[in-house]
Every structure is written in structure tokens, then in C-alpha cells.
Amino acid sequence: METLTIDNLRVEYRSRAVGDPVKTAVRGLNLRVAQGEVFGFLGPNGAGKTSTMNVLLGFVPPTSGTARLFGVDVREPIARQRIGYLPEQTYYYKFLTAEELLRFYAEIFQIPKAERTQRIDAVLKLVELDHARTRQIKTYSKGMQQRAGLAQALINNPDLLILDEPTSGLDPIGRMKVREIIQRLKSEGKTVFFSSHELGEVETVCDRIAILHQGELKTEGRVSDLLRQHGANLEQIFLKIIGHPLQP
Amino acid sequence: MNPAPALLAALAFATALATGGRLLVWQAERVPDTGSVFDLLLGESRRAFAMHAFIKADAYFHSGFYPSVFDLAQVADRNKTHLEESIKSAGNEHHDHDAKPAPARDWLEAFGNHFHPSQHRHLERFGDEREILPWLRLAAELDPQRVETYTVAAFWLRDRLNKVNDAEQFLREGLRANPQSYEILYELGRLYAENDRDVPRARAVLELAIERWLKQEARKADPDKQGYGQILAQLADLEERAGNLDRALAHFARLKQVSPAPETVQKRIDELLARQGRPR
Amino acid sequence: MNTIWALAKIVVLEMIRRKDFYVLFILTVLLTGMAGSVNLFNDHSIVRYLKEICLLLIWVASLVIAITCTARQIPMEREQRTIFPLLAKPVTRAQFLLGKFLGCWVATGLALLVFYLFFGVVSASREQHWPVLNYLQAGFLHWLMLGIVIAATLLGSIVFAAPSSNGTICFVCVAGILLLGRHLNKVALGLAEPLQSLLYGIYFVIPHLELFDVRDLITHNWDLIPGGVMALAILYAATYTAFLLTAAWLVFRRRPLN
Ligand SMILES: Nc1ncnc2c1ncn2[C@@H]1O[C@H](COP(=O)(O)OP(=O)(O)OP(=O)(O)O)[C@@H](O)[C@H]1O
Ligand SMILES: [Mg+2]
């Protein structure tokens, strides 16, 4: 069964001022992600990656087309019961501690009380924030905040993770950790759908990728197939597909 | 479409309407002698606030019940507060007022009447009159030229709260701010006569009050005869009690000229003459 | 319900950890203390003016707390982008709004509790009696009124973009209703016809917040409001609150988040 299905998705932003042109961020996107896959969602800045994710999470209604998670239309809140999401940039409630934040999200997922503490301990350990769990988030560094974000995405033990540039702002060790976490989730049979500009990292962890450019899907396929087809590394493929003149 | 500006305009309009209405009522109550613009702004607003404090005292006198400016706007003549009336007719507890509140205009108003004092009620426990004093004190701070503030406060202080010294002090403070006020002198004279039983002092003050009255009011087209009569009556009583019947008779004779009920004054004169043992 | 309550707890926690409430409370205590220390004709049992001033301060402070706390909730969620991870969880927008409403309402309720306790102490210190039921009734009505104000502010925070302009608008509206709401019908009756019906219509439509203002009854030791009237007041407040929350939901339901 497919975990994530996108059919003919079109996303338009209508600006508030009258007379401004309608901005089309995604045009006719079709995408399928199967269970257990790690899927890389690539594209230059402004390609429409975040817009697509916003639809998947119900933040923005699709202009046309449909999107489903686990076969449920994304307009239904229940579609989000089994997913974890890490936004592109986040600041969490600064007046809370990491532990309180996770407890709050655990309550929203209605994780039974007995399991809650266990779950919180587990994710804090995973993202290595154990030592700072009782400090308010406003005292965290950017990398620590990013890791707190990762922890909240994992709190409900999700079957599908949607991560918008999970490694941005992290140091090399942090990136490696995130890669490890993704691989670990994959080994547990979870699906990971993430966007990234770190092509080397994508190459190492992803099963399949899609490249989006100006709202349109340019390429989709297994990483190994693409590498073989083009006889080049992912970066070269990426630049070629978006029509960027290659360096000699 | 942003509805904010329209909303703000509507609100500003409503506020202007309300304050405008208020100002009109004030204007009607006291015609200001226009000085400089600054004086007008500062002085008038201070006086308006003093008036407000005085009204507050009146509301306290009625346990929080007080018709708003909007109710007042519909009652044409209303220049004296109830509080003042009740003191003018001091002694007899009953002063006339419509005890029945006006019928509610709609169900909402009828319902709302449960949530604020909506019946005419006076302070009930003896000594509760002290509660009005802070507002009179404030009124005096804001507008020291407002004579009623001192006379009303002094009345309650000495008559109900047994604080003769504080009453005297407050009246003297009022006198310093209004040296020409015969009303304050009258209250002070009453205090000396009724509470201190200090006849010479009371006489001196009351006679001074008469002097002031004659100087200020006598030439006016519509002099405050009631105030004059009160001073004379007080003075006559004082002399009568002190045994100076001649002087008392002289005051009564003057009182008869200004009194709205000369027959009763004549009756007093007759009694006095009889006591003097002289034939009519 | 669990979800709504979880959201509400966060709002309450926020209020506890912010300084606003403490500042306002200390200010109220200081100003009341100053008013109480004035020597009035050497009489130290004068209390009603003090009750009035204290209640006025409490009303102003509670409105400041309720409106500022509510007005910043949704703009802050959006500006700090905390709304994204939150709504990416199985939370409906209705639950989100209800949680925010409940949190603000409970938080101001807790603040009111502290304020009215202080008021009780002030009045008992001079009056030597504790009309606890009357105070509870007044505080409860006050709280009901704040429910309407919070729902209106929540709606405003979705309709108007800037939290500060929303706060100002809510303040002006609430103050206007509190001061004039009761008299609108009398003003209307003095107007010419098309305006009269219009103003009378407004009079019936606006939420009469001043109904819940029973400060004068408390100051002057009037009797309790009968139970039937209280029940109607609860119904009245609940109707307006529900209406405003529904309106907020209708606006927010389909609103794109970025
Ligand atoms: N709220 C909005 N209103 C109008 N246009 C928007 C809005 N959000 C995004 N866009 C436009 O939609 C297009 C796609 O933006 P999107 O954020 O999806 O890109 P992205 O692929 O995530 O880029 P990046 O790699 O920089 O994060 C861009 O051209 C952007 O300008
Ligand atoms: Mg993006």
C-alpha cells in the first residue's frame, strides 16, 4: 500500500492585493511514496517543495488535485495521526522546557499516560537533548532547537515522517546524527519523505528521489537507476535537470 | 478588504457623541465665564471632574443609585443634586423624590436593572454617611471654589458623624479659598451655635455672614433669599436661646420680609412678644 | 476534549511564566494601598471609595490581561511558526481555537481569583465582614463577561492582521460597551426615525458587557442577584461566546496558514 499519494496537485497563492498575478507554486504534481521508503524531495529554492508539504499537512488547501496519507485525504485531521513533521524553520514555545513541549504533544496524540514518560525519555535520548530537558527552549542554540524539533516529530512513533530540510543549521556531527536517525527509522520499516539541498546526504540515505523545478516534476526514480542512467553524480544530474549550465 | 478603519471611525463617532452629550449637560449646569483657552481647558475640566466627584458623593448617598447623564438629559430642570436638597431640609428625614423608578423601556433594560442599583435607596446604617466624604474631599481638591462641597461635607461630619473638629477645619479651609462666601460662614455659625454652644463666636460669624450676603446678593435682581433667611433664622434662634429677645425680634422682623411663609415668622414674633410680657 | 485541555494548559503556563500578570497585580495593590492611605477627616472606617477604586483597578487589569493575552495567541503561533508542528498533529482547527479560548479564559479566571482575594482582604480590613457569596457572584459574572471579550478578541486576531491593532480595537469596543451600552436605547429614543431604529437595532445586537458589571452592588453592599437572573445571565454570556467562537471558526477554518 502507498503511504503517500499525490494526484494532479496544483497549488496557487492568491495575493491579498487585488490585481497582483496569481502565483502558481506547484503545477500538476503526481507522486507516490511506498511504505518503508526514504524519499528525497529535491529542487532549487522556490521550486515548490515546502508548498507541497504544506498541502500534505493541511496548512494550505490544494487549488486542485488531491493528496492522501495512508489513503486518507489530507483535509481530514485524522490523516495526521501517524505522521511526524519537522517544519523548515521553527521556534517552539520558548517558555516551555523540552520535556514540557514533548509532554504537550504527547497529550495531543493521546498517548496513554503510562507510555508517555517512556516515549519522552526515548526521543530525548535519541536526539541527545537529555542533558537539557528541564531548560526552557529559549536558552537553546539553533542546533539544539532543531533537535528538539526532530524529537517532537518522533514523539508519536510515526509511520511517516515529513521533514523539511532537517539538516539545515546543524553542524557536521548533527547532520551525521540526523542521517543515522533516518537510517534507523528506515530499518524499523518507517517511511521518510524529506526535502534537502544536501545532495551528498541525499545520495547516501535515499532510496528514491524526485526533482522539482518551478512547480513541475522533472525527474523521479531510484537513486541507483538515475546514477547509472546519467553516469554522473547526483549534483551533476541535478544541475543538468534544472537547466543550469555545467561548469567545464 | 480591511474593516478596521470603518470600525474605528464608528467608534470615534460614538465616543464623540457620548462626551458631547456629557459636556452639554455640564454646560447647562454651569455657564462658564470664558477666560483664556488654557484656563478654559484646564479650569473647566477640573471643575467638570469636581462636579463628577460631587455627583459621585450624591450617588453614594443613595447606595450607588444615580440616574446617568442620559436619564438626566430627559429631566429638564435639575440643577441641584439630591444631596444638597437633603441638607437644606435638614432635620426632617423626608425629602420629596419619586420613589418609584421609571419603567424600563425594553426587556433588556428591565433585565439589566438586576445588575446595578436601580432603586432609590438611602444609606441605611447610622454612620454610613461617612462613605460620601472621600468624594467631597476630592471635589474640594479639584475645585476649591465650589462652596457646596464644604457646606455639605461639614453638615454630615458634625450632624451624623460627630466630628465637629474635622467639620470646622474643613469649613475653615473652604473659607480660606472662598473668603466672601456667606454660605460657609452660615455653616460655621451653625456649628458654633448648635455643636459648640459658643454664642459669641456663633453670633460674630453669623453676623459676618449677613454682612457678606448684603454686600453680594442684596443688589442682585434675584438674590438668594433662602440663604439669607436661613442665616437670619439661625441668628434669631441663637439670640432667643441666649435670652436677648430684643435682638431676636429684630432678626425675626428681617426674616419676615424674605420668608416664603411670613405668617409662621409672625407667630414666632408674637410668642416672643408675649414672653417679653409686652402687649401687642 | 483532552486535546483542547492540553492546548489550554499551555496558554495558562504561558501566563504564569510571563510578567504581565504580576506587574498588573502589584500595580493594583500599590494603587489601592495609596488610595487607602489618604487621611480623610481622621476617619479610618471609610471603605466604599476604596472598594470602588480597587474594583475599578481590577476591572481594568483583567481586561488588559484578557485582551493582550488573547490577542497575541494566534499571531504569535503564526509568527513563531509553532502553529505548523501543532496543526501537523491530529488537531482540528476548531480544537485549536477552543483550546486557545479555554486557556485564555482559565488563565484570566485564575488571575481574577487572586485579584478578588485581594479585594476581599481590602474590604474586610475595614468593614469587618465577609460577604463571600456576593464576591463570588461578582467575580463569576466578571469572568463570564471576560469569556465574551476573549471570544471577540480571538475572532479579531484572525480577522485583523496586526495584534496591536486588534488589541486596540477590542479595548475601544469593550470600553465603549461598558460605558455606553446601557444607555444606547435612551440615546436612540432621542433621535429622528431612520437613526432611531438603527441605533436601537445596534442596542439589541451588541453583547451587553455592562450587565456583568456589578461593582456598584458590591461597593454598596446590595443583596445577591437572584438565581433565576443569574441563570439567564449565564445563558446570555454563553450565547454570545458561542456565537463569536463559531464566527472565529468559520473564518479560520479555510484560512491558509502561510
Ligand atoms: N504565502 C505565499 N504567497 C505567495 N507565494 C508564495 C507563498 N509561499 C510560497 N510562495 C511562492 O511559491 C513558490 C514555491 O515556494 P516554496 O516555499 O514551496 O519553495 P521551496 O521549494 O520550499 O524553496 P526553498 O528551497 O527555498 O525552501 C515560490 O516561488 C514562492 O515565492
Ligand atoms: Mg522550502
What tens digit of pLDDT does each residue of B126-162 get?
667 778 888 888 888 888 888 888 888 888 888 777 8
Smallest-distance ligand from the CA of A49:
1
Mean pLDDT, chain A, rounded, equals 87
Pairing mode, strands A160-164 and A2-13? unpaired
Domain count, chain C: 1
φ, ψ at A238 (rounded to 5°): -60, -50
Q: Is the pLDDT of residue B21 over 50?
A: no
CB C148 within 8 A of CB C240: yes
Q: Report helix, strand or coil for C22.
A: helix
Residue nearest atom 26 of ligand 1, based on CA coordinates: A45
- Residue B198 corresponds to which cell in the numbers above? 459658643
Q: Is the pLDDT of residue A104 over 70?
A: yes
Residue C41 has its nearest CB partner, among B73, B114, B133, at B133
Closest by alpha carbon to A86, among A178, A152, A173? A152
Q: Is the CB of A13 under 6 A from ligand 1?
A: yes
Query: B168-197, pLDDT tens digit by residue?
Result: 888 888 888 888 888 888 888 888 888 777
Least confident span in A112-121, B77-86, C22-31: B77-86
Q: Is residue C78 part of a domain?
A: yes
pLDDT for residue B13: 44
Q: For residue C123, what are the CA distances in angstroms to B56, B63, B92, B93, C21?
A: 19, 16, 33, 29, 22
pLDDT for residue B23: 45
pLDDT for residue B230: 82
Chain C, nearest residue to A149 by Cα: C85
Chain C contact for A162, CB < 8 A? Answer: yes
Long-range CB contacts for residues A106-115, cutoff 8 Å, separation at least 24: A106/A155, A106/A156, A107/C2, A107/C3, A107/C5, A107/C6, A108/C3, A108/C6, A108/C7, A108/C86, A108/C89, A108/C90, A108/C91, A109/A81, A109/A155, A109/A156, A109/C89, A109/C90, A110/C2, A110/C3, A111/A155, A111/A156
Q: Is residue C21 part of a domain?
A: yes
Q: Is the CB of A196 under 6 A from ligand 1?
A: no
Sorted by where each starts, the structural domains of chain B and their CATH numbers stand as 36-146 (no CATH), 180-280 (1.25.40.10)
Calculate how far, in angstroms, residue A88's C-alpha sits from the geometric centre of ligand 2.
6
Cα(C115)–Cα(C55) distance, integer angstroms: 9
- Selected residues 131-160 of chain A with any CB under 8 Å from a CB in chain C: 149, 152-153, 156
Cα(B96)–Cα(B89) distance, integer angstroms: 10
Mean pLDDT of B78-91: 52
pLDDT for residue B25: 44
Q: Is residue C4 part of a domain?
A: no
Cα(B137)–Cα(B153) distance, integer angstroms: 8
Q: Is the pLDDT of residue B235 over 90?
A: no
pLDDT for residue C145: 94
Q: Between C148 and B80, whose confidence is greater?
A: C148
Calculate how far, in angstroms, residue A240's C-alpha sits from the geometric centre of ligand 1.
22
Mean pLDDT of B74-79: 45
Query: How many Cβ pairs within 8 Å bridge chains A and C?
Result: 84
Q: Is residue C5 part of a domain?
A: no
φ, ψ at A40 (rounded to 5°): -95, 130
Q: Is residue C61 part of a domain?
A: yes
Mean pLDDT of B67-71: 63
Q: For residue B64, what are the CA distances in angstroms to B50, B116, B118, B119, C224?
A: 18, 8, 9, 9, 15
| Domain membership of residue C98 as a residue range | 10-252
Best residue for ligand 1 mutational test, from A23, A163, A212, A217 (most atoms within 8 Å of Cβ): A23
This prediction's pTM: 0.82
The shortest C-alpha distance from A13 to chain C (Å) reads 9
Mean pLDDT, chain B, rounded, equals 71
The enclosing H or E element of B185 equals: helix B182-190
Hey, of B116, B137, B149, which one would you mutate to test binding to chain C, going by the most C CBs within 10 A of its CB? B116
Chain C contact for B21, CB < 8 A? Answer: yes
Q: Is residue C156 part of a domain?
A: yes
Calculate how far, in angstroms, residue A246's C-alpha sits from the geometric centre of ligand 2.
24
Hey, of C7, C84, C86, which one would you mutate to test binding to chain A, going by the most A CBs within 10 A of its CB? C84
Cα(A80)–Cα(A105) distance, integer angstroms: 13
The residue with cell 504569535 is C76
Closest by alpha carbon to B131, among C171, C41, A179, A237? C41
Asked whether the beta carbons of residue B117 and residue C216 sit closer than 8 angstroms, the reply is: yes
Q: Is the pLDDT of residue C128 over 80?
A: no
The shortest C-alpha distance from C98 to chain B (Å) reads 25
The shortest C-alpha distance from C21 to chain B (Å) reads 28
Q: The complex's ipTM?
A: 0.83
The 8-class DSSP code of residue C223 comes to P
Q: For residue A226, what are the CA distances in angstroms to A43, A193, A208, A209, A221?
A: 16, 18, 9, 9, 7
Q: Is the pLDDT of residue B262 over 70?
A: yes
Cα(C79)–Cα(A168) distance, integer angstroms: 20
Query: How many Cβ pairs within 8 Å bridge chains B and C?
Result: 110
Q: Above pLDDT 70, what percent of chain B?
A: 68
pLDDT-derived band at C88 (thresholds 50, 70, 90) equals: confident
Asked whether the beta carbons of residue C176 and residue B14 sit closer than 8 angstroms, the reply is: yes
CB B117 within 8 A of CB C225: no
Q: Amino acid identity of C83?
A: I
Q: Is the pLDDT of residue B203 over 80?
A: yes
The 8-class DSSP code of residue A22 comes to P
Q: For residue B251, what are the CA distances in angstroms to B204, B240, B244, C102?
A: 14, 10, 11, 75
Cα-based torsion angle of the residue sequence C243, C246, C248, C254 in order, rounded to the nearest 10 degrees? -160
Calculate how far, in angstroms, residue A215's C-alpha sits from the geometric centre of ligand 1.
9
Hey, of C220, C229, C239, which one would you mutate to test binding to chain B, going by the most B CBs within 10 A of its CB? C220
Cα(B51)–Cα(A37) distance, integer angstroms: 80
Residue nearest atom 11 of ligand 1, based on CA coordinates: A25
Smallest-distance ligand from the CA of A44:
1
pLDDT for residue B183: 85
Q: Is the pLDDT of residue A192 over 50?
A: yes
Q: For residue B66, what are the CA distances in angstroms to B95, B129, B180?
A: 16, 16, 32
Q: Is the CB of A45 under 6 A from ligand 1?
A: yes
Q: Between B277 and C61, whose confidence is greater?
A: C61
